[in-house]
Amino acid sequence: LGLGLADQRHSNLREAYAALKMAGELLPNSETAQAAFADLCLNLYVSDQTRPKAVYDQLSGVADRLLAGNAGSFEGLRLKGSVALLDHRFDQAIDWFQKADQVKPMQPNVVLPLVRSLLETNRKREAEQLALQLIAAEKTAEPTYDLLYLFYTRENRAADAEKILEQKVENNPNSATARLQLAAHYVRLKQRPEMARALKPMLDRPKEFPNGQLQVGDFYSSIGDGQGAL
């Protein structure tokens, strides 16, 4: 199990698959081992445009086995929701994710796909409030901010879109990704002073941003500012 997780962190997915599959076979009653293998299968399935049926079947099988052993299994409920979401069965996905949230509230790996499922069924207000609750509980859950930013942008709520990016930076002050994202937002609004202000800590604080000069240089290059990049 440890080897598989380590391989996965280093993007050695073939080795991770073999190790986590073996871990699941050796630890059939371990939710941790079963869920680790199922999550890898989920990632492999989503990232493969061919959508391999064998990987889907393994993911679905783990979810069914966990719930057969314990109808209230958090991991089983979460994985059943993930399978339903893959199949675009959004109402069923919402039901599974909500049950998982009742077992273990405000877990990002449940709330985020639940928010996506709610948006797919046009339950926008409910989705927005749930995402904001997750941010309040888990300020470092950066994908939540991204999902809200995309939602606000699509809804033409420009002020809310900017506010959520600013909140992301405020709550994650040492995140280069958050600062670069906010800077890109200001570029689109043609607000160069605000863009520079968002990037300035990456240049001034080398301990927190050891690659800051390179990242900001790349950013300037990406917006066509050769002098700034130099």
Residue-wise pLDDT tens digits, 37-65: 999 999 999 999 999 999 999 999 999 99
What confidence tier does 20 reach under pLDDT thresholds 50, 70, 90?
very high
Residue-wise pLDDT tens digits, 103-148: 999 999 999 999 999 999 999 999 999 999 999 999 999 999 999 9
Residue-wise pLDDT tens digits, 214-225: 999 999 999 999
Mean pLDDT of the chain: 96
What confidence tier does 70 reach under pLDDT thresholds 50, 70, 90?
very high
Q: What per-residue confidence (pLDDT) applies to 131?
A: 97
* Long-range CB pairs of 131-137, under 8 A, 24+ apart, other chains included: 133/106, 134/106, 134/108, 135/167, 135/171, 137/106
Cα angle vertex 82, ends 81, 87, to 5°? 95
For residues 181-204, average pLDDT: 96
Q: What per-residue confidence (pLDDT) applies to 60?
A: 96
